[in-house]
Chains A and B, each alone.
Chain A
């Protein structure tokens, strides 16, 4: 028998244990990306197809480097949490935990690799 009352279990932060934190993060990062993405699409699309010297000049420049770094970090966090939502909808148990870990790892690897490339080009 459980001694917690129904009211006590439903109170505060709900089934997730984190309340609306996840949803709120998605909203905040969505607004940030709404500002970042249009400019980034231009910078990336314009650089794609050019020679290495032009590419390094674009992403080594403070504007290109900071913009791309921001896009990488914010979008990969947004992706990890978004993919987590999908995984939690369609899977259960060990699959759910494993896939969430995998998706967060992938997001971190992409972020770290991209940031390393940016630092190297900016040097």
Chain B
């Protein structure tokens, strides 16, 4: 170990699909990363829309037209699902970090809680924001 030579090592995702069977624990972990990073798209769109509202005139019309179009609806609805998933998976991470729920049965159950819970919370949010 004192004098390590640089070795060509494979990078992280090389196992997936080829040697490693997908399972709830790994898929739910992977989804946390995907949803978290994908959320930047809706932040860009949302901040553009806020900037448009601040500047007014044509700037708002342009940003608002995109944000409330079918494309905007698609991005924000998927982001809602993504943010609730990331939210629940994040809470699960904190729970794991505290040393709980690490047996396979509980971990797999918590994966389903994240997936089903995110769908339920998304529908609930879409209803609540109407009022």
Check if B53 sits within 8 Å of A59, measured CB to CB: yes
Check if A113 sits within 8 Å of B125, measured CB to CB: no
Q: Does A12 contact B (CB under 8 A)?
A: no
Check if A27 sits within 8 Å of B129, measured CB to CB: no
Number of interface residues of B (CB under 8 A): 41
Closest to B8 in A: A92
In the assembled complex, the CB of B65 is this many whole angstroms from the nearest CB of chain A, namely 12
In the assembled complex, the CB of A95 is this many whole angstroms from the nearest CB of chain B, namely 11
Tell me, in angstroms, the Cα distance from A86 to B33 when the chains sit together. 8
Check if B51 sits within 8 Å of A27, measured CB to CB: no
Known: A45-B129, A82-B36, A114-B50. A1 touches B3 (CB 8 A): yes
Tell me, in angstroms, the Cα distance from A75 to B79 when the chains sit together. 14
Tell me, in angstroms, the Cα distance from A59 to B39 when the chains sit together. 21
User: A79-123: contact bitstring with B at CB < 8 Å (1 yes, 0 no)?
Assistant: 100110010011110000000000000100010011011101100
